[in-house]
Amino acid sequence: MTESHAAKNMTVKMEDNELVITRVFNAPRELMFKVWSEVEHLKHWWGPKGFNWGFAELDFRPGGFFHYSMQSPDGYLMWAKFIYHEIEALEKIVWDNCFSDEEGNIVRPDFSDQFPLKIRNVLTLAENDGKTTITLRGGPIHATEEERSFFAGMFESMKEGFGNTFDQLDEYLAKV
């Protein structure tokens, strides 16, 4: 864990082929749920550091989706999609995270043909004294052994990426 992430009360581990992240944010649970469930908020913090938002469409309900594009500083355009399965207001959000094309079809990312098509994520939120602890568990579903192994091999990269994303969320929450 890097110093900046450690200082922000974040733990990251691999458990049963799932990435498990726990982090405390200085914000009430109601606000934390909003920043995960409204496109106007997501556009300000979700995704790799330095990427700019393009297209974003959100249908936040079980069976709904979040389809979006982002562009890296060097011009790489990335499309992705969430497919929501379960939503318990203020408590929990369950979704599949996927790379997609412009039409929203699920595709493999350009960087690997071994990356799993779907990562099932379970986000839980718990409030204590005005601060919210989130726990995000994510792992491949319907994946081959090779895909699960590739996912596990990306642990350091995912740890850094989510650390930066959650740093962006921390900065955004301070402004809201």
Kindly report, residue by residue over 62-106, the tens digit of the pLDDT.
999 999 999 999 999 999 999 999 999 999 999 999 999 999 999
Question: How far apart, in whole angstroms, are the C-alpha atoms of residue 47 and residue 72?
Answer: 10
* Interval 18-25 mean pLDDT: 96
Sorting pLDDT into bands at 50, 70 and 90, what band is 8? low
* Interval 155-168 mean pLDDT: 94
Question: How far apart, in whole angstroms, are the C-alpha atoms of residue 122 and residue 150?
Answer: 20
Q: What is the pLDDT of residue 9?
A: 81
Amino acid at 140: P
Predicted TM-score (pTM) of the model is: 0.92
Question: How far apart, in whole angstroms, are the C-alpha atoms of residue 60 and residue 69?
Answer: 17
Cβ count within 10 A of residue 28: 17
- Please return the burial class of 103, using the count of CB atoms within 10 Å of its CB with bins 0-12, 13-18 and 19+: exposed
Residues of the chain with pLDDT > 70, as a percent, come to 95
